[in-house]
Amino acid sequence: MAKRILIVGGVAGGASAAARLRRLDENATIVLFERGPDVSFANCGLPYYLGGEIKERGKLLVQTPQKLAANLNLDVRVRFEVIAILRDKKVIQVRNLQTNVIYEEAYDTLILAPGAAPIIPPIPGIEKPGIFSLRNLVDTDRIHNWVQNQQGKKAVVVGGGFIGLEMAEQLKIRGLEVALIQRSGQVLDPFDPEMITPIHEELIAKGIDLRLNRQVVRFEDASSNSKALKVVLDDGSSIEADVVILGIGVKPESHLASDAKLEVNARGAIKVNDYLCTSDPCIYAIGDAIEVTDPITRNQTQVPLAGPANRQGRIVADNIAGRPTRYRGTLGTAILRIFDYTTACTGANAKTLSKAGITFKTVYLHPNSHAGYYPGAHPISLKVLFSPKDGKILGAQAVGKDGADKRIDVIAASIHHGGTMDDLVDYELCYAPPFGSAKDPVNLAGMVIQNNMNHLVEIIHWSEVEARVQRGSKLLDVREPKEFEAGMIPGALNISLGQLRARLNEIDLSTDWIVYCQSGQRSYNACRILSQHGYKCCNLSGAYKTYSAATGISK
């Protein structure tokens, strides 16, 4: 007997599940419900359409209901809202939003892919016209039309996460003045603070009015006739704007599940097992609305990303079709372009590992994106976190103008398979001068970790320097004098690497030395020289580049 499979939600996860199910089962009845007017649209592309980089709105429509019906024999019902699940009867209640008629549909298997909704905080005045969040094409059209009709010149973006930064960039590209309000001291919370300094600098350099450690306390009507709104901040300052975009975050849209007494966590995310089945064996859940396992900490979390949602759609279809497949968790691999910079991450950051009580060590390095002698090479700031027990890779973050994406992708694949420092060293990666180096940054990261694990060099970090100096350690800068004069750590002795062997007599043998250069490679070589001559020394990981970014010292 043919299965009857109903799917609630027709974007990333829901559409992927429907397509995979049809390819696995030609006879099943598959009905896809979407309360909006569009299915299978590229929601990650919405900011780029608003900024004008994507010229045609239709390019955002990956599939239309008509194409899904014709190509995959799916029953696609847009503008139909599922309002209740009656588990005892194995039916759902559906409202036709065009006629307001409510009816019931029976299922053998139900898939919930409702996604996540933007967080709308209870800020006074937040209901005023001109304040928007961005979730779908309807929101996109509203923002686009508002900015056009208002002949907008100035925007305020509230929230410095991925969507907030994408919107800030794209509104600036569109020609608006943009202010970005972030309640914490950094944008992009998945990154550790010292890695984000180049992004703060890039935002400011491109003309974004960046307000860190600030909160919106209310929205008022603008005093100026030419502006729509006044955004009042907690320090008493205010910004007048034509449009406000809320990018504060999202919450699981799981009321259907909770109303049906399916298990949800404290934040409302739907609980599923390794096969993406809910507490009801006939109901599966996927996408932004579910709780997933963090493969590093083994804790439960929520990760609203399109890639995992699509994979979950495929996996749940396999399970329904009798091909048991486990979902192995979500690393949270993510990437973002901010004007001329790319920032990417995978796995756990230092904050997450510390909170989970996991012991870890860190290395920083700043290799070029490709061979330095080939034109156009740019440095990548790379941070890799690893286990001091076995060198297992726990997470990584990269920021740079070129090459951050593929390095994080390689490390993400390594983490997924339980990779260690030795794997990073051994990977055979593409090399030609325009694309990489004979020793790729991924290989170099593994080598740096190996050197530390094999006790060839002790490494310390920017956050330890002050305490070490207070305990009597001294600083040795092995850069060239011109580099030293352009910016240095106060109190450092400057002896360039090339002169080090000839000037060992100037270095106190009884002192512990913190050695640094610009990026960490020359200082590693200096440490090897010093240690073999009986000196006590350690290498400052990431060297002056990381130290200056983390401390704000003049470069």
Active-site residue numbers? 44
Q: Categorise residue 446: left if φ over 0, alpha if ψ from -120 to 50, beta otherwise.
A: alpha
Sign of CA dihedral 304, 308, 311, 315: negative
CA distances from 533 to 217, 378, 454, 474, 505 (A): 61, 35, 19, 17, 11
Angle (CA) 346-347-352 rounded to 5° is 125
Let me know: does 231 contact 217? Beta carbons within 8 Å. no
Give yes or no for a contact between 188 and 165, defined as CB atoms under 8 angstroms apart: yes
φ, ψ dihedrals at 217, nearest 5°: -105, -25
419-422 long-range contacts (CB < 8 A, ≥24 apart) are 419/392, 419/393, 420/386, 420/390, 420/391, 420/392, 420/393, 421/386, 421/391, 421/393, 421/446, 421/449, 421/450, 421/453, 422/391, 422/446, 422/450
User: Can you read off the two tokens belonging to residue 264?
Assistant: 């949800």
Q: Judge contact between 280 and 180, C-beta under 8 A.
A: no
Which residues, at least 6 apart from 7, have a Cβ–Cβ distance to it below 8 Å? Answer: 14, 17, 18, 30, 31, 32, 33, 110, 111, 113
262/285 Cα distance (integer angstroms): 11
Given strand 536-540, what is the order of strands in its sheet?
459-460, 536-540, 512-516, 474-477, 493-494
Residue 518 carries which DSSP code?
A: S
Alpha-carbon radius of gyration of the chain:
27
Structure tokens of 174?
């569109």
CA–CA distance, 452 with 391 (Å, rounded to integer):
10
Q: How far apart are CA 394 and CA 413, in angstroms?
A: 12
Cα–Cα distances in angstroms (integers) from residue 245 to residues 119, 133, 268, in the given order: 12, 6, 24
For 297, half-sphere exposure in the C-beta direction (CA atoms, 13 angstrom radius) is: 21
Please, where are the H alpha helices in 437-554?
A: 441-453, 465-470, 481-486, 521-532, 543-551
Structure tokens at 271: 């609980």
DSSP assignment string, 151-171: T--EEEEE--SHHHHHHHHHH
